[in-house]
Structure 1
């Protein structure tokens, strides 16, 4: 198993929590980024929060801007949701702007499951009247806009601009080469400032890797008073908040009516005979 454990001790005291952070990057293809992601999460988490950062290990992990490849990687994400459920995690965070498997994951799990795109876009709406996106490339943009529409926020989307990073793993160089990193930041800021000039109130860097790079460079505004929302730290803090809210609500979180309903207990044995040990959080028959 390849992962980073972010904590010096297990989550045992009242208020402690154990969070699974799921990246869609293959660790050996993104070594500098994964180290930086670890540092950003370490700096943002609450003292009693235990985070495990996992990437894609089975198949893929380098090209999720393509829908077919994202679909392949989403299978591992969902397998990890089942595993995190069995291992007693308190929340599952999907740290990819496509939110792969988000709805399916909520159907599986009892713990809160949050996605990078949904969380970032909703929080941006609490920060300003609209928000704008800067995506990694033209291929990625329609997928992210589709998510924003799905989340009912189309009227709040002020615009979309794209970087020219067509091979996503090239972003990893930005963490090991200062000049390459600065060039990426400058390219992003040019797009963000253009959005600000058009009236955007909040800017979302719509690539998780880019969010991490901007955090490392301390970039938080496109212009004075125009915030850049860092979705990585936002996802973590909202995940921690969701765990606390669930505890205060007697363990209730995901609605089981309609969209996220699990199969009836009477059907579980039959389903598991054909699909394997699915729905680990479902009531036992």
Structure 2
């Protein structure tokens, strides 16, 4: 164990699916929020993808996942202690966790699992109806169908969120849209509400505590970051980042080399 590890210092690679230059207001606010939440000794470094995830389609998610996997392998080679996928849909999570020896945290998975410790059922509110089916599959993939009261959607795109970060009127309008969507989820039994995305999480983060008819709106960025910090602690304690007997079986060096090989 290094001297820095013994003192609790750690470096976390936060992988956004947004482009740093095109969406700078988001990146600056996100870095400030993570710096506020992190514990002493933790360094969180945000990285994006180019072009950003802006077309809300499975093909775009697949393209961004490719960049995400490559960045994850780079993060490990550069000595980061954990890789955090800061995109709720978390495409590439299985492949990355199977390829890395350091902890890999998915924003969606971390938030849904934490919600199960806060209440009996949770509900998701995604940023656009295009993601409704994706989240249904995501919930099922994590085996949480019986804990999910449903998935709802506001109608927004990246541009609307960028405006909301600087325009109080647009921010208030999006908050009202969110509340309108969560009320049916509360009626269906949700006692924890999750904004399904880094963009809405950041937009609503400063409203904490945030309750709608008694149901708690999760501060998901804090959940993901604290999960990553705990995962690093446990990795240092046990030397194990993931089980390797099945779903997250370790990728061979050859499989990784083939993935990183130049493409023609």
Same fold (TM over 0.5): yes
Q: What secondary structure, in the 3-state scheme, does the structure 1 residue paired with 2:247 have?
A: helix
* Residue 12 of structure 1, CA deviation: 6.5
Q: CA 1:64–1:204 in 2, change beyond 3 Å: closer, same or farther?
A: farther
* Residue 230 of structure 1, CA deviation: 1.8
Residues 1:70 and 2:61 are matched in the alignment: yes
Q: CA 1:219–1:140 in 2, change beyond 3 Å: closer, same or farther?
A: farther
Alignment of 1:131-146 (within 5 A): 131-146=122-137
**Partner residue in 2 for 1:168:** 158
Alignment of 1:144-155 (within 5 A): 144-155=135-146
d(CA) in 2 for partners of 1:160, 1:271:
36
d(CA) in 2 for partners of 1:64, 1:98:
14
Q: CA 1:276–1:186 in 2, change beyond 3 Å: closer, same or farther?
A: closer
Match of 2:174 among 184, 191, 197: 184
d(CA) in 2 for partners of 1:271, 1:117:
27
**Partner residue in 1 for 2:228:** 239
Q: CA 1:51–1:115 in 2, change beyond 3 Å: closer, same or farther?
A: same
d(CA) in 2 for partners of 1:33, 1:148:
27
**Partner residue in 2 for 1:253:** 241
Q: CA 1:276–1:25 in 2, change beyond 3 Å: closer, same or farther?
A: closer
Q: What secondary structure, in the 3-state scheme, does the structure 2 residue paired with 1:52 have?
A: strand
Give the structure-2-normalised TM-score.
Answer: 0.92
Q: CA 1:41–1:263 in 2, change beyond 3 Å: closer, same or farther?
A: closer
Contact 1:97 1:144 in 2 (8 A): no
Residues 1:103 and 2:94 are matched in the alignment: yes
* Residue 157 of structure 1, CA deviation: 0.9
d(CA) in 2 for partners of 1:123, 1:73:
26
Q: 1:137-189: CA deviations, max 9, x gaps?
A: 21111111211100000011112221011x33321111011111111111112
Residues 1:121 and 2:112 are matched in the alignment: yes
d(CA) in 2 for partners of 1:213, 1:199:
25
d(CA) in 1 for partners of 2:37, 2:255:
41
Give the structure-1-normalised TM-score.
Answer: 0.85
* Residue 93 of structure 1, CA deviation: 0.4
d(CA) in 2 for partners of 1:34, 1:276:
28
Contact 1:62 1:169 in 2 (8 A): no
The gaps in structure 1 that reach 5 residues or longer are: 1-10, 279-285
Q: CA 1:66–1:253 in 2, change beyond 3 Å: closer, same or farther?
A: same
Match of 1:158 among 138, 143, 149: 149
d(CA) in 1 for partners of 2:184, 2:101:
42
Contact 1:29 1:62 in 2 (8 A): no
* Residue 39 of structure 1, CA deviation: 1.5
* Residue 219 of structure 1, CA deviation: 5.4
d(CA) in 2 for partners of 1:112, 1:42:
20
CA RMSD after TM alignment: 2.1
d(CA) in 2 for partners of 1:203, 1:157:
10
d(CA) in 2 for partners of 1:81, 1:150:
21
* Residue 255 of structure 1, CA deviation: 1.5
Residues 1:47 and 2:40 are matched in the alignment: yes
Contact 2:208 2:219 in 1 (8 A): no
Contact 1:134 1:206 in 2 (8 A): yes
* Residue 275 of structure 1, CA deviation: 4.5
Contact 2:89 2:135 in 1 (8 A): yes
